[in-house]
Structures are given as structure tokens and as C-alpha cells.
Structure 1
Amino acid sequence: MTDTSRLLPFRLPPWRRAVLKVGSNLLAAEGGGLTERYARPLAEFIDSSVRQGREVVLVSSGAVAAGRAVLRRRSLPGAGLAARQALAALGQVPVVEMWRQLSSRPVAQVLLSHDDIRHRRRYLNARATLRELLALDALAVVNENDTVAVDELKLGDNDNLAAIVASLVEADVLLIASDIDALYTADPRTDSAATPIQQIESVTAEIIAMAGGSGSAVGTGGMRTKLKAAVTAAERGIPTGLFDGRSAETVAALGEGYLLGSWFQATSEQRLHARKHWLRYIPAVDGGVTIDEGAAVALQERQASLLPGGIIRVDGEFRRGDMVAVRAASGQLIGQGLCQYGAAEIRRLAGQHSRDIELVLGYSYGSEIVHRDDLVILDGMRAGAW
């Protein structure tokens, strides 16, 4: 349990809407399945916040652990993605039912997939649904739709999902309830000299180096995924609070407006336009385009659109409207954007002048492969520091 004597109470700024992420380690029972031990105080915090006129959206893990209990065994033959997807499908109902029993308000389940985040119309529909649930005074319990995900589950960790949801609903704060009380200078489980860092102005490469992976068999993330979530939220001007959800004292302090944990600051200068933020953090499809040096300079320094003449290679298969990665000839990821043309079409257009598009294809969707309004340039932190 957390030794809160090492942590000084940090007064939270006033907030009206929060996203609370609860990790698997807080919900998984010792012998399998789910436990309300740590969920109950967090549910009480949500209800208390609502009584004070605030709104809370819940991002809850725990479906895979709950699915194992449904089958009354710890593992399935094989440990592949399909087996974990089946467990997630079995466990979604118990997870929502647990929160329904703990909540004083109606509970709604919202399952999101990468496609819901990648496609603009579905993204906007998800945002409208979450906002309407808040207006109806319902508790939205959000999780990734693991049952149809095509990526490994770790790629869709719920820390990142919580940050995306915080942006979706324009939250004032992201709160991450974990099984560790703060960010430390080193792993406190193995280094007795590790000390907590309570206020972080920005997530630097040095901060990232302090983080590790998942510390539990039931979780899919770790401190590094929490740092990525904090960066994602900060770029929308949303600060993040990390705290130990196992500590009754810490959860009680949170209800009084104090954080015993780590606070990741965010400023208004960090805000991105909503569309650019969406472009920055939605996952790209496999493959992408490689461009020459001149095109790279035009994109990075002049905020130009990507034209066919600058493309030297096309990798993978994708369709018009997909989110694709844009790389330099060196292989460095420069940015990503929505393609006006599919992979097969771009292969025919690579190196050609824009005026020749209709001549080559017999039709034209426009002179740009990726318009600058549909393109976001990625800094080093997003492009590979992780």
C-alpha cells in the first residue's frame, strides 16, 4: 500500500469535467475475476463529484480478467490474440455490471475501436454520444472494443484511450488511478533510492527514461503508457493526475480537491486545433509514403501540401481517405495525414507533376496527395522517442 507520507498534497485546479481511468490491477481479484475493493471508493468519488455539479467519464479496464473468471480458469489453450479477444468479450458484461452496482446513476457501455478514432465521422459520432450521455446524467463506462481489434491489445492500451476520450469530451483533467502512487526517478520496486516526482512541467526524454513497461500480468500498460497519455492530453491543454487507486487516503483526498501523486501540467499554449489533434493521435494504417528531401523541407518548414512529385516510394495497401504515415528517404517518420488517393493510384502518380494527375489516372480528386489541412507534422516525441 502507498506510503503517502512521501507525497505532499497538491491542490487541484478547479475542474468541471474529468475522465477517470481505472486500470486492471485495481479491478482484478487475487483468485481471478473482479473485485470491488478498490472500485467502490472510486465509484463513491465519481458520485460525490457529480453531486458537486461535476461530470466524470470512466475508462475501465478489467474485461480480460473478468472473462477468465467466467470460464473459471486462469488461461485458455494458447495465448494468442483471438483467445484474449474472446476473454474480453466474455468479460465486458461483468465489468459494466460491477460499475452499475456501484453507481447511483444509470450506466452506459461505450466500446471504441481504432476505426472509431481514425475516421473523422465516427470520431465525431463518438464525441456526440459521450456528450449526450453526460447530458443525461449517465455514467459512461468506456473501453476499447478488444473483441474486434486487429492489433495486439497493448497497442490499444487504456491509458492512451483515456487521453483520447479526454479530448473527445473536452475534459478539464485526466485522472489515472494506478497501482503506483507517482512517477519515480527509478522503479521503486527494485530501487530503494527512487524518489517521487510530484510536478512535471513537460515529459522530456529524461522523464521517459525513468519509465518502464507493464508491471503486472493482468495489465497491458505501464508508466511509459501513462506518460504517453499525459503528453496526448497536454497537447489539448488537459493536465493529468496520476495516483494510487488502492489508497483510501489518496482517493479521499482527491474528493477534497487534493492530489497525492504526480501532476503533469498543461498550458493553453499547448492546445492544438481539434482537427489537428485528431490527426496527430489517430493510428495510421500499415504502410505509407516515402518522400524526397525537397518535399520533406516543404512539409516541415513551409507547411505545404504533399504533392505527387515529391513521392519516391509507396508501401503497403491503403484506400483513399485512410490515415497514412509520411516518411523521409532515411526512414524517419515526418508526419501523417489523410490521403486523397489510394496506394495503387499513388504508385502511378509518384514523381509526376500535379497537372498530370488526370492524364495518368483518367480522373482527379485534386492536385494534392495529402492536403496541408489534413496533414500533421510529428515532433521527435511522437515520431520515435517512445
Structure 2
Amino acid sequence: AMAARQALAALGQAQLIGLWQRFFERPVAQVLLTHDDLRNRRRYLNARATLNELLRLGTLPVVNENDTVSVDELKLGDNDNLAATVAALIDADVLFIATDIDGLYSADPRRDPAAVPIHDVPELTTTVLAMAGGAGSGAGTGGMHTKLEAAAKAGRVGIDTCLFNGRDADVVRALAQGRLFGTRIHAGQSREAARKYWLRHAPLEVGAIVVDEGAARALREKGASLLPGGVTTAEGEFRRGDMVQVRLRGEAGDVVLARGVSQYSASDIRRVAGRHSREIEGVLGYNYGGNVIHRDDMVLV
């Protein structure tokens, strides 16, 4: 029964993290995600902030699906695709996926003796996808096909994927020395290009953040983040994590300067408009950072 499986998952969590901690001197942190955490924009941002803070503190986050509360119809799925989602969540440099064979082959090497390894994949084409077999081994969820699906997901946000044999100690040691014995799957575009494309084309929420002349110059000439001190007001009722316009209001009307992901809701921005970043927590009672929109989450128009 579902409840029994979820109870067993809960019982296993402490032992699992204890096992991970035995392998590392740095602190190990457990992060459990659900489908709703990634579908809801506010929770998505909170998950990203938590993971980035854990990394800043020098810990090793161990991420898994929260099997104690997930239901089948809302599961994130296999761990390969979960890894790709987390890689995108934290803007990872590269996604490493361990397999039980030496990377991608032209066919399943356990069934076809003529199969040859593919060390470099410039682009994930239908031909490459056809090389993947079925479910693979029983050691975890997903086979080679799901690993290529995960690579495609990571590639859409500009992240390369490396497949390697996680059962070969020499291969794992080589990774620590910057050498890959396996398959590198290249992203179709750079992370910056993927991010900028999304920022330019993601749907806008109704409303805008209105800024003064000084903030407008900082955005245009210095590529700066938008701080609350340069904000005069916020229009609409958008929420934290929404894509909104940044406008400069003049006698001739509004000029659209940029679009970006707001770190605060419209109501919060109206409360901190014109204030210094250090005053945010005192005014709101909480703090999502000193920027209203970080420069990495904004594009000029």
C-alpha cells in the first residue's frame, strides 16, 4: 500500500543520510523535494535559495524526492530527471550522471558485442536517442533513455551532461582529477544564451516596477541589479518570482527599461520603495536578499 511504502521511506531517511555522512568530512545536508516544490514559483525560489545557501556554507546537499508525501500521479519521476531539474535549479556548471556501464554506446553493450562507446555527443539528435535501450539495471530508477532525457532537459538551460561508470573506482578517481572516461553530451546553447532567451520571452505578469532616473542609469550603463532605493513604486499585484517589466516614468509617459524576475511581491516593493537594502528586514520582517531584481535575473529591452 502507498502508506506502507511512504512509512518505510521515512524510516530509511536517517540511515541513508548517516551512510552519506560516513563518506565525507564536510557536513551532509538532506533536501527532499516534491513536484509541488518545483511547480509553485514561490516554493521553487525558496528551494533554490536553500540549496545555494547550503553550497555557500560548504555543505554537501543530498537531494531526493520526498517519497514520504509524494503520490504516484505527482511524482518527479526517476532520479536522472530529478538531477537535471536540480542542476537547472542551482545553475550548475555541469551535470554528472553515474551509470552501470562506461557511458553511451551505439547499442546496448550487454546485448550487442559490436556496440562501440560514444565519447562525445555534440547534439542530442533522434539518432542518438535511438541508441538508448530500455530500463537498464535494477540499481535505481531509469535506464540510458532516461539519462538522455535528463541530458536534454539540462541542455535546454545550457548545462552539459557527463555520463560515467559509477561502479568503476578508477573512473571516479579520474573525475576528481578533471578527466572523464565516459560520454560528454553538449548543451545546444550556452547557459547565458538560454537564460537570456527565457528572460526575453517568458510571459509577463500584469504590473510593473517603476524606478527613478538614477536607477535607470545604473541599469543601462552599469548592468547593475535593481535595489529598493531606486524604486518609486510597484503597480499591480504580482508575486515574488513573477516576470515583470521595469519602467522609468517621465512627463511623456512610461519607458520600458527591462524585464526580470522580482524577488519581492508588488505589495512588499511598495513598502520598501526608496529605502536602503539593509532596511528590508526591519520593514517587512523577512528578507529575500538586498536586490529587488538581481542582474542575472534581468534583461534590458
RMSD: 2.5
Q: Distance in 1 between matches of 2:101 and 2:74?
A: 22
| 2:178 corresponds to 1:257 | yes
2:76–2:82: 8 Å Cα contact kept in structure 1? no
Question: Is contact 2:26-2:59 (8 Å) kept?
Answer: yes
1:248 to 162, 165, 169: 169
Gaps spanning 5+ residues in structure 2: where?
203-238, 240-301
Deviation at 1:216, TM superposition (A): 2.8
- 1:176-228 deviations in whole A, cap 9, x for unaligned? 11211111111111111111111111211122222123223342211111001
Q: What SS does the aligned partner of 1:156 have?
A: coil
The alignment-based identity, stated in percent, is 59
1:200 aligns with 2:121: yes
Q: Which has the higher contact order (CA 8 A, sep 6+)?
A: 1
Structure 2 counterpart of 1:272, from 191, 194, 200: 194
Alpha-carbon separation, structure 1, partners of 2:74 and 2:133: 18
Is the 2:29–2:59 contact (alpha carbons within 8 Å) kept by the matching residues of 1?
A: yes
Q: TM-score, normalised by structure 1?
A: 0.49
Matches of residues 96-135 of structure 1 in structure 2 within 5 Å? Answer: 96-135=17-56
**Equivalent residue number for residue 239 of structure 1:** 160
The answer as to whether partners of 1:113 and 1:145 remain within 8 angstroms in 2 is yes
**Structure 1 residues 118 and 274 mapped into 2: Cα distance closer, same or farther (>3 Å)?**
farther
| Alignment deviations for residues 249-304 of structure 1 (CA, whole Å, 9 cap, x no partner) | 11111111110001001254574338949x99xxxxxxxxxxxxxxxxxxxxxxxx
How many residues align? The count is 201
Partner Cα distance (2:7, 2:90) in 1 = 29
Query: Does structure 2 conserve the Cα–Cα contact (< 8 Å) formed by 1:153 and 1:220?
Result: no
Residues 140-182 of structure 1, C-alpha deviations (whole Å, 9 max, x = no match): 1110111211126985111111111111111111111121111
SS at match of 1:146: coil
1:1-386 mapped onto 2 (5 Å cutoff): 81-151=2-72, 156-269=77-190, 271-273=193-195, 276=198
**Contact 1:154-1:221 within 8 A present in 2 as well:** no
Gap runs ≥5 in structure 1: 1-79, 281-320, 322-386
Residue pair 2:31, 2:64 contacting (<8 A) in 1 also: yes
Structure 2 Cα separation of the partners of residues 205 and 267 of structure 1: 14
Asked if the contact 2:96/2:161 (under 8 Å) is kept, the reply is yes
Distance in 2, matches of 1:248 and 1:233, equals 26
Q: Indicate conservation of the 8 Å contact 2:159/2:190, yes or no.
A: no
- Report the residue type matching 1:146 in the other structure: D
Distance in 2, matches of 1:253 and 1:138, equals 23
